[in-house]
């Protein structure tokens, strides 16, 4: 039903240059296996185009990289959402982003938030009708 795509580190870094400072093992042995736990890449998922699957996998790898290692060699940090309150003395910033128990983990990074929004169509119920059954106990009546 779904598709399998080959993860390309070169293409990933071209799209997300903030992770260019990460080593190959950090991405391929650290982040990618964790990302595939959340973004199924075994051909059994609901995504049917290679382009969409590649985009989703790259977003999830970026999300994991940001959480585990941070960007540009800096510690993991960042703000996601609309700035709802800001102060100048002793610098204070608050962000407002609708979070539910289902999406809270994804909303920690912009990549996770983008992944969550992009996968909304795949988180709906799909009706698959069963076989049609014809029951006629009296065929000659």
Residue 87 forms beta bridges with which residues? 92
Nearest of 4, 84, 89 to residue 40 by alpha carbon: 4
Of residues 86 and 12, more confidently modeled: 12
Which residues have C-beta within 8 Å of that of residue 18, sequence separation ≥ 6?
A: 71, 72
pLDDT digits (tens, 9 = 90+) for 71-121: 876 766 566 666 667 778 888 777 766 677 788 888 888 899 999 999 999
pTM value surpassing 0.85: no
Q: What pLDDT sits at residue 20?
A: 93
pLDDT higher than 80, residue 68: yes
pLDDT in tens, 28-38: 999 999 999 99
């Amino acid at each position: 039903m779904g598709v399998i795509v080959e993860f390309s580190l070169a293409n990933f870094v071209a799209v997300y240059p903030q992770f260019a400072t990460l080593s190959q093992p950090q991405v391929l042995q650290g982040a990618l296996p964790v990302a595939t736990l959340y973004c199924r890449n075994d051909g059994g998922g609901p995504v049917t185009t290679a382009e969409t699957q590649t985009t989703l996998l790259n977003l999830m790898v970026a999300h994991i990289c940001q959480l585990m290692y941070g960007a540009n060699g800096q510690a993991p940090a960042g703000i996601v959402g609309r700035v709802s309150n800001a102060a100048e003395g002793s610098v204070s910033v608050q962000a407002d982003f609708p979070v539910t128990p289902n999406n809270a983990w994804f909303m920690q990074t912009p990549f996770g938030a983008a992944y969550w929004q992009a996968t909304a169509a795949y988180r709906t119920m799909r009706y698959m009708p069963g076989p049609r059954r014809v029951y006629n106990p009296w065929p000659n009546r």
